[in-house]
């Protein structure tokens, strides 16, 4: 799978793409991340990528010419590549979007800057606008890295164990259950007995209930979309009765 990232700060990605899961996936050839310096597609000696907005107002806007050239360059070998603009007005990125994008072969990510990009680029080239949350970043580079990381985890072979991706928070529609490791006792707190029992059915049931409990406490809106069994629903009703 190939990611092309269009940015005016190519060095931003140097370290993150060499470390951890992403670094290993790139070394193995499971994913390919190409960083495209937008300034390489400018025509003036100052390598200008922005200008004042028509109609006045604060800030600057990314000019369309270099972006058009950079996108065309990225698509030269794949006209069907999906072009994504990282933008605060985009749809909020979530696990379901990451899952759909992981089925693609080629994503082109545009890192927005300043007040945004010229709207004509959006209309002519962009297939999807994505935001990573309701807050303001200095630019789209951190957001692009989030998308690359989240999508790459779902590409077959990237994680050491495929079940890791299937059991992650949001993959099941719920937040993840608590985890424990050695030692059995730490600061007066013990590992729950069920996890030491060796009874895998009991452990699975405990983990499911803990995931339901944590999701109800912290992100109850997720339960509306989660696939819940009759047992799940009964357990949630029991928890809600206790809270009243």
230 is an active site residue:
no
Q: Of these residues, 69, 94, 149, 168, which one is catalytic?
A: 168
Please name every residue paired with 33 in a beta bridge, in sequence order, or none if there are none.
3
Strand bridging mode 2-7 / 106-111: parallel
Prior bond of 183 cis (ω within 30°): yes
From the list 102, 64, 56, the residue with the least C-alpha distance to 85 is 64
49 and 66 in contact (C-beta within 8 Å)?
A: yes
Q: Of these residues, 115, 149, 167, 232, which one is catalytic?
A: 115
168 is an active site residue:
yes
Sign of CA dihedral 210, 212, 213, 219: positive
Q: Of these residues, 10, 64, 88, 142, which one is catalytic?
A: 88
115 is an active site residue:
yes
Pairwise CA distance, residues 2 & 66, whole Å: 21
Residue with tokens 């030269």: 76
SS3 240: helix
Strand bridging mode 106-111 / 128-131: unpaired
Strand bridging mode 82-92 / 106-111: parallel
Pairwise CA distance, residues 25 & 67, whole Å: 28
Active site amino acids? 88, 115, 153, 168
């Amino acid at each position: 799978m190939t990611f092309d990232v269009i940015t005016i700060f190519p060095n931003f990605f140097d370290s993150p793409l060499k470390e951890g899961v992403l670094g290993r996936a790139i070394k193995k050839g499971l994913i390919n991340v190409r960083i495209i310096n937008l300034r390489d597609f400018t025509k003036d000696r100052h390598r200008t990528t922005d200008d004042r907005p028509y109609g006045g107002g604060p800030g600057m806007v990314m000019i369309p010419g270099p972006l058009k050239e950079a996108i065309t360059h990225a698509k030269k070998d794949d006209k069907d590549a999906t072009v994504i603009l990282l933008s605060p007005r985009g749809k909020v990125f979530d696990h379901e979007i990451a899952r759909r994008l992981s089925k693609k072969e080629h994503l082109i990510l545009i890192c927005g800057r300043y007040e945004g990009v010229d709207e004509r680029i959006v209309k002519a080239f962009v297939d999807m606008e994505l935001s990573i949350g309701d807050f303001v970043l200095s630019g789209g580079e951190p957001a692009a890295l989030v998308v690359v990381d989240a999508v790459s985890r779902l590409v077959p072979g990237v994680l050491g164990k495929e079940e890791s991706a299937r059991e992650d928070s949001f993959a099941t529609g719920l937040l993840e259950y608590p985890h424990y490791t050695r030692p059995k006792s730490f600061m007066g707190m013990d590992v729950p007995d069920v996890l030491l029992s060796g009874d895998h059915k009991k452990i699975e049931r405990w983990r499911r209930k803990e995931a339901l409990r944590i999701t109800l406490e912290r992100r109850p809106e997720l339960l509306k979309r989660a696939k819940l069994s009759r047992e799940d629903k009964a357990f949630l009703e029991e928890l809600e009765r206790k809270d009243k």
